Structure 1
């Protein structure tokens, strides 16, 4: 059996960071780790599914797809049965992932709007981690969801400006403008940890020489470091 693994490693950070921010602000417990393993298995199921959607000739995707789905379901369903709010949150996020599948079918996955929808969907997983140990979802949870959406949108702007839009001056100027605005926005709201992270992202966009960021691996390492800084500064400041 061929094990399909998601190729979009940047999306792993979009899954991991919001979830563990949600766990951290609600109080990390062992249940968070177990639920995350199930969630991660379900996320891996999208790799064989997307492979089939892109090319239906790939018939070998189904064993790994059903293996991932089975592992994830075995872990997560008991949580749903004891906490129905987790089920409703999941069902509210599911349509966003379905839209991503439509873009894949249309071969428009590289569109910015598709990235934004994926960011919103993955950032919303923070609510699952938060509700896992909290009796209700409070305003702070939505605030952190917004911060994740802003951060990863900036990351997409930066990465695209280095690869697919590297010759698009308008896109690069839009990226810089976006980074400036999110720094101002978070600073005005006195979210200083987030503002500092966005400022570092802005400085990275402006001053890190593009000659140092030509290969996807190099870009990925920088974005991972930036994601770790975002996580730490948002949680502890």
Structure 2
């Protein structure tokens, strides 16, 4: 992601602003971009069924999905391709995706429709609000944050999403034994993530102290990542399990 001006268009057709009114590090940077006609039509057809709202308050995942299953949360799913692939590959699991950018939401709804998926629900709001206002404690089996904005300039490092306070809020939403999976293609951010997670109360590195993980087979390789690999860019995965 890169920092750009906030869009002049209505930021959400889901009936609520994606921007939290609370203080703290936002989970995103608002970018310009309009939905394609296909994304808008998919949004209009699918949002009522697959969309979740801040106004829904604390959800009961069993009621939302109509079953008791392993529950995954992806924060910042981008255009949704990877999330759709994971959901299609694991129909026995349920997935909640969070993304503030409407083109990404529309693109994921197109994928859901194309693949015939029933095990995805979507929030089009700040992930901070999803964590604090919408998800009960210990409801998640896995949280995924893939390629968040790296804020590469040192003076902007405080804006990075992966910070001690944010990690502890995620911890409370994970069940004991649940997994936090982070990935980045910025080495400096990978080092920052490792430092934060290694010092985080209630988490243990599944690979051993200070060790990055090989890419798990169930994390799809994105086109962006493939392009980066061709250019010689590295990718770092971190897998930490909640211990208490």
Higher helix fraction (1 or 2): 1
Higher strand fraction (1 or 2): 2
Higher Rg of the two aligned structures: 1
* Fold similarity call, TM over 0.5: no
TM-score normalised per structure 2:
0.29
TM-score normalised per structure 1:
0.30
